[in-house]
Amino acid sequence: MESYSNNERWFIVRYARGSGGKFLLNCFTQYDKLSSWVEGHTKQQRIDSYVSTFPNDTNIPWVKDEIVSPYNLDFFSRTFSRGHNLSLYEFDKAVTTSANQKFFDDWNNNKIISEISLSQEIPNFWKYAKNITIKVDDIELYKSLLFSKPFYIEGNTLTSTCDSPLGESKCTTHKKFAEKFDNEWFWENPDFDYIFDNYVVKQEWYKPVIEFNKQSDNFINLTDLFDVKKVFSFVDSYSDFFEEKIPYENIEKLHSQWIDITQKFIDIYENTRLRKSI
């Protein structure tokens, strides 16, 4: 049986929900050695494919067409602890029976497999894989991203599109379950600070905000994601690992598109918050 638990073949982006992990992952997939979640053989095609998943209107929830892992590795959770204690043998066996053709194509083409982890503890089978982390160094900035992306503002109503505490199978960002999601978490005329302090911080998916701030290496600060030069510097620092130099202009293209739509969603949050305070 193939050893899919080979840690040299995985690259994991660790981040707290809403803090820009998929954007950072797609910056790294400019490296040709790293597998991509979107279609495209060339760097520009991968940029175009990723940008095409952005909502073109702030009336559309960010998560509606958000990219998800394309490999069908659903025998473990990227957010909760389900399946994290699998032995390496059990992981190899589960990959063999669960993964789709996209995974095997990337693996057999000697790609380093890109994945994400939103859990405070990295799964046993990825413990020694190459991983990077986004640190939340500005909690107010994190609030603005959280309440405008994984949460959804429509008029005076705030709705959580995060996993329901009653069961992760209701995750709206997983297309397989999207139509089954019965959202029980919404607020009229939301008091964002109250909701954050009394709901958000008590959720399992918030714990990485605290845990990841203990990282001493292989991390980028959340605030740095808003500075294209710092993003490029961080991505470029892995050029030896991937044995390639990527053009600054490519990261700049990705960054400008991501910042533009992200800021529009943040503005909705800020304006709603302002109306509440008047």
Reference 224, options 259, 195, 180; nearest CA is 259
In a domain, 66, yes or no: yes
What per-residue confidence (pLDDT) applies to 176?
A: 47
CB–CB of 78/117 below 8 Å?
Answer: yes
Q: How far is CA 216 from CA 36, 133, 190, 213, in A?
A: 27, 10, 36, 8
Q: Is residue 20 part of a domain?
A: yes
Distance of alpha carbon 119 from alpha carbon 206, whole angstroms: 9
The number of C-alpha atoms within 13 Å of 226 and in the hemisphere containing its C-beta is: 13
Asked whether residue 161 is assigned to any structural domain, the reply reads: yes
Beta carbons within 10 angstroms of residue 134's beta carbon: 25
User: Residue 86 corresponds to which tokens in the numbers above?
Assistant: 């699998």
Q: What is the C-alpha separation between 70 and 36, in angstroms, rounded?
A: 9
pTM of the model: 0.92
Neighbours of 167 (CB within 10 A): 9
Q: Cβ neighbours of residue 117 under 8 Å, at least 6 residues apart?
A: 12, 13, 14, 78, 123, 126, 131
Q: In sequence order, what are the residues at sequence separation of 6 or more whose Cβ sits closer than 8 angstroms to the Cβ of residue 27?
A: 231, 235, 251, 254, 255
Q: How many domains would you assign to the chain? A: 1
18 is a domain residue = yes
- Whether 1 maps to a domain, the answer reads no
Which structural domain range is residue 59 located in? 7-277
* Domain assignment present for 173: yes
Q: How far apart are CA 233 and CA 245, in angstroms?
A: 11
Per the DSSP assignment, residues forming a β-bridge with 130 are: 11
Q: Left (φ > 0), alpha (ψ -120 to 50) or beta: where does 83 sit?
A: left
pLDDT in tens, 44-98: 999 999 999 999 888 888 888 889 999 999 999 998 889 999 999 999 999 999 9
Per-residue confidence (pLDDT) for residue 169, from 0 to 100 = 42
Is residue 93 domain-resident?
A: yes
d(CA 231, CA 26): 12
156 touches 189 (CB < 8 A): yes
Dist. CA 177–CA 171, nearest whole Å: 6
In whole angstroms, what is the distance from residue 213 CA to residue 136 CA?
7
For the ranges 36-40, 77-81, 167-171, the lowest mean pLDDT is seen at: 167-171
Tens digits of residue pLDDT in 191-250: 999 999 999 998 888 999 998 888 778 999 999 999 999 999 999 999 999 999 999 999
- Residue 178 pLDDT > 70: no
Q: How far is CA 40 from CA 43, 196, 261, in A?
A: 7, 39, 22
Q: Is residue 2 part of a domain?
A: no
